[in-house]
Structure 1
Amino acid sequence: MIYCVVPQELGEEVFRRLEARYRDNPNITVIWERRTTERRKDHRGGDQRQLRDRRRRRLPGDTAVD
């Protein structure tokens, strides 16, 4: 599935043209973005939020298999 998101700045005309162009393609959905503000607010911890590396730590030493 492919989502084609059209920002409001490009206007309704661009949205309508893309919608008409991909109407017969079930794998493409054209969406007109209507949001006016960022929805993600920093209510959870503010500056205290810590970012961590979520990757697994590697064991020290040689892990080659013969």
Structure 2
Amino acid sequence: QSTRHAAKLALAVDRLLNDGVRNLDANRNAVPTAAADLANFAMMVADVVTAGGLAGKAEGEAA
């Protein structure tokens, strides 16, 4: 899953750099969309590995 999102972003950037002028609108819009997908996936992973929350519990706070 994570490699698919990273590959999608890499492909979008590659297309923008190498084929951008021929299909500029689609290529320009693909990069932020793919970047957002990858960022969302990364945040979900971070949430899971921090026991369900990025902020965590304050010291001395009950579970």
TM-score (norm 2): 0.28
Which structure has the larger Rg over C-alpha atoms? 1
Q: Which structure shows the bigger proportion of residues in strand conformation? A: 1
TM-score (norm 1): 0.28
Q: Which structure shows the bigger proportion of residues in helix conformation? A: 2
